[in-house]
Amino acid sequence: MATPSPLPPFAAIVVAAGKGLRVGGDTPKQFRDWRGKPLIRHSVEALLEAGASPLVVVVAPDARDHAQAALRGLAELQFVVGGATRQNSVRAGLEALDESAPAHVLIHDAARPDLPRAVLDGLLAALEHHPGAIPVLPVVDSLAFACDGVMAGKAEREVLRRVQTPQAFRFIDILAAHRAWTGATNAGDDAQVLMDSNRSVALVDGDERLKKITFAEDFMDSSTLPEFRIGQGYDVHRLEAGEELWLGGVLIPHNMGLVGHSDADVALHAITDAVLGAVGEGDIGTHFPPSDPQWRGARSGQFLEHAVGLARAAGYAIANVDLTLICEAPKIGPHRPAMRAEVARLMALDEGAVSIKATTTEKLGFTGRGEGIAAQAVVLVTRTA
């Protein structure tokens, strides 16, 4: 896989001063084990891996020992005692960074273990034009105002976004905004503090993988997950003249193409179902119903990326994929390298972990008569922690 280009330098603050007792138990959730190590260690390690330096961890006065134990052995961490509110805690972290005066700082929740690289790229790029940038996601459910258990009105979800962390800022701007913050009103996050000082906050694409771990069921003991799981997928689409032929994410020149609601990429559909099958997440129709007009003509690569994201969120990494295409024509061989590269890219795998094979059915059956193309795939996933 290509190594991503280096990010511009940035400092980071991980806010871990909350009590986090909603998950149950006496230990704040950020210090409890999640997928094999303390929850906070996931987010701190991800930031260090991305190049955060220096990195400040803000902890409650009585949680210093918990935090140091949870983060033992990690280099370059600075522990700062937080305040009574989240604003006070972040302010303490910012003041601690004042001496090193970084150009950019990321402020992150301890309870968001995964940190997709594309989000970091988007945040830091946006700081070229704005003093602040935050990852956001669309609201997919419709919204209702509630009043005494009765619907009191509707909200327009199109103009609303769900806000995640890390939130990225030019250091001098967020420090100034926090110093100017009167505390008269309560801010939910640092973007609100920055906006209150009349500075602009860019919205960049967030990622479901940045999900905050909140409730007890998120703390399912990873030792109960099996080491390996396997999934298989099978799909068929009809061939017709006048259609584009997409196979394995590659547009293949041919006198016929596959018919379907999406781009009908039978290869990616079989792999997607195999991934979903391995982690028990239903099938492609569960997640992307053909009845939903938003998937009309959709590139199937996004289905596969979504499935791989679900597998990761369930604590698994993809080990390998083996795909067989079943058709008389076109010849798959000449397109195999491009398909292999594209499937590897979509699944964030090395090409060595992607096998693409093809067979005919000796002119027997619907594939033999050239009426359609079938695909079957097997995927192995391994536990990541």
Binding site for Mg ion (CB under 5 A): 235, 269
Peptide bond just before 166 cis, omega within 30 deg: yes
- DSSP one-letter string for 90-134: HHHHHHHHTTT--SEEEEEETT-----HHHHHHHHHHTTT-SEEE
CA distance 97 to 105: 9
Q: Which is nearer to Mg ion, 280 or 290 (CB)?
A: 290
Q: Which is nearer to Mg ion, 115 or 373 (CB)?
A: 373
Closest contact distance (angstroms) between CB of 345 and Mg ion is 20
Distances from the Cα of 356 to the Cαs of 121, 232, 325, in angstroms?
32, 14, 8
CB 262 within 8 A of CB 288: yes
Closest contact distance (angstroms) between CB of 285 and Mg ion is 8
Q: Which is nearer to Mg ion, 91 or 269 (CB)?
A: 269
Closest contact distance (angstroms) between CB of 91 and Mg ion is 53
CB 44 within 8 A of CB 74: yes
Any idea which residue has 């030792």 for tokens?
223
Closest contact distance (angstroms) between CB of 235 and Mg ion is 4
Greatest Cα pair distance in the chain:
78
Closest contact distance (angstroms) between CB of 256 and Mg ion is 16
Q: CB-based contacts of 24: which residues, under 8 Å, 6+ apart?
A: 216
Closest contact distance (angstroms) between CB of 288 and Mg ion is 10
Q: Which is nearer to Mg ion, 189 or 235 (CB)?
A: 235
Q: Which is nearer to Mg ion, 109 or 235 (CB)?
A: 235
Q: Which is nearer to Mg ion, 269 or 340 (CB)?
A: 269
List the structure tokens of 96: 């601690």
